[in-house]
Amino acid sequence: MMAGIIDGKAVASEIRTKIKKDVEQLRSKGIVPGLAAVLVGDNPASQVYVRNKRKACEEAGIYSEEHKLPADLKQEELVKLVNDLNKDKKINGILIQLPLPKHIDSKMILECVSPDKDVDGFHPYNVGRLTVGDPIFSPCTPHGVIVLLEHYGIKMDGMNAVVVGRSNIVGKPVALMLINRNATVTVCHSRTKDLNERCREADILIVATGRPRMIRGDMVKEGAVVVDVGINREDNGGLVGDVDFEEVSKRAGWITPVPGGVGPMTIAILLKNTVESAKRAAGLI
Ligand code: NAP
């Protein structure tokens, strides 16, 4: 049996259509949500991400600005820019595109972002709120994973969920979100013993390692839901996930493809967070 395909592209497009309508309504009340993206240096992947985010904002009617800064920028100059954006009334969301150059203390910069404009959900205040089960902004990619599962009616309550990867951007927050939805969660990483066995216990397997096709067919329980967060560029220019789609799709019940699975959800949630931030700033929620 071939697994059902979780179509992230379609779900993201539905969300974006809804956001566009929301923004039209807000604009009719004189409220224009605004997102500022900060890009330091010339990492080609980061440039593509920022460009796509800006295009998505334009399409949704969200005001957006891009701050492109040289790689040798001084840390205090970046702090000043973030502080200015924190005060800027046009801006409801501030996105610091990662990775930042090595000479800049990323943790410190993320803490400079006002928690009220932290649409990426990376500020320790928002991480803490997610941890206590009362999130305001939650990180876009893991939240996108949860929205996809909910959209397909996949039950999380009481299920064994295994997360492979423990990054602050994906693995840890998605594990918290699953705990908050009553899943029993195991988090695996590079020091995990018996990774194959742990994975085979999963009713829901979420993979975010950045290791192309590392999850093979024999690591997956028959009928499991498999969500592949990985985006890896191959030598021929194509994209592959962290899951061996060909093998795993023969065993899983549901699976996300790469591309067209989790990827498109990230931007959709970013737009959603920005619009919610604008509504909160206007006292509407
Ligand atoms: P990361 O910060 O590099 O973290 C990778 C995690 O995987 C680490 O916790 C690492 O363990 C674990 N890991 C690595 N090799 C492993 C192995 N052989 N067995 C078990 N665990 C292993 O990566 P990330 O930022 O979370 O991103 C993960 C993937 O998702 C990447 O492909 C990235 O491109 C993709 N991604 C996609 C989106 C999107 O869809 N929009 C957004 C973000 C990331 P240790 O902690 O022990 O080192």
Whichever domain contains 60, its CATH number is: 3.40.50.10860
Number of domains, the chain:
2
Residues 105, 156: one domain?
Answer: no
Burial class (CB in 10 A: 0-12, 13-18, 19+), 140: buried
For residue 201, give the CATH number of its domain: 3.40.50.720
Residues 154, 258: one domain?
Answer: yes
Could you give the residue ranges of the DSSP H alpha helices within 181-219?
A: 195-200
Q: Parallel, antiparallel, or unpaired: how do β-strands 204-207 and 225-228 relate? A: parallel
Tell me, yes or no, if the pTM score tops 0.85.
yes
pLDDT number for residue 35? 98
Residues 93, 159: one domain?
Answer: no
Does some domain include residue 269? no
Q: Which domain holds residue 244?
A: 140-262
Does some domain include residue 159? yes
57 within 8 A of 35, measured Cβ to Cβ: yes
Residues 107, 145: one domain?
Answer: no
Q: Where are the beta strands (DSSP E) in the chain?
A: 4-5, 34-40, 63-69, 93-96, 160-164, 184-188, 204-207, 225-228, 232-233, 239-240, 254-255
Query: Taking CB atoms and a 6 Å cutoff, what residues make up the pocket around ligand 1?
Result: 141, 164-167, 169-171, 188-192, 195, 208-211, 214, 229-232, 262-263, 266
Give the pair of three-digit tokens for residue 224. Answer: 């499991």
46 within 8 A of 97, measured Cβ to Cβ: yes
Residues 38, 72: one domain?
Answer: yes
Residues 91, 163: one domain?
Answer: no
Q: What's the CA-to-centroid distance between 168 and ligand 1, angstroms?
A: 10
Does some domain include residue 236? yes
Does some domain include residue 9? no
To the query of whether residue 53 is one of the catalytic residues in this protein, the response is yes
Does some domain include residue 175? yes
Pick the catalytic residue: 53, 172, 221, 272?
53
Q: Which atom of ligand 1 is nearest to the CA of 232?
A: 32
The Cα 152–Cα 108 span in angstroms is 38
In order along the chain (285 residues), what is the average pLDDT of each group of 10 residues?
Answer: 96 98 98 98 93 97 98 98 98 97 97 98 98 97 98 98 98 98 99 98 99 98 98 94 98 98 98 98 96
Concatenate the DSSP letters of all residues of 71-128 into one string.
Answer: TT--HHHHHHHHHHHHH-TT-SEEEEPSPPPTTS-HHHHHHHS-GGG-TT--SHHHHH
CA terminus-to-terminus distance, the chain: 45
Q: What's the CA-to-centroid distance between 177 and ligand 1, angstroms?
A: 17
Does some domain include residue 16? no
Give the pair of three-digit tokens for residue 155. Answer: 């039950």
Residues 151, 250: one domain?
Answer: yes
The Cα 96–Cα 67 span in angstroms is 10
pLDDT number for residue 256? 98
Q: Which residues contact 210 (CB under 8 A, 6 or more apart)?
A: 165, 230, 232, 242
Residues 53, 109: one domain?
Answer: yes
pLDDT number for residue 1? 79
Looking at the DSSP assignment, which residues form a beta bridge with residue 227?
A: 206
Of 15, 2, 8, 52, nearest to 241 by C-alpha is 8
Residues 74, 175: one domain?
Answer: no
Does some domain include residue 92? yes
Within 13 Å, how many C-alpha atoms sit on residue 1's CB side?
11
Within 13 Å, how many C-alpha atoms sit on residue 148's CB side?
35
Pick the catalytic residue: 22, 116, 118, 120?
120
Residues 89, 149: one domain?
Answer: no
C-alpha distance from residue 144 to each of 72, 76, 231, 238, 266 (Å): 33, 33, 15, 23, 6
Does some domain include residue 20? no
The Cα 135–Cα 138 span in angstroms is 6
Residues 195, 253: one domain?
Answer: yes
Residues 71, 162: one domain?
Answer: no
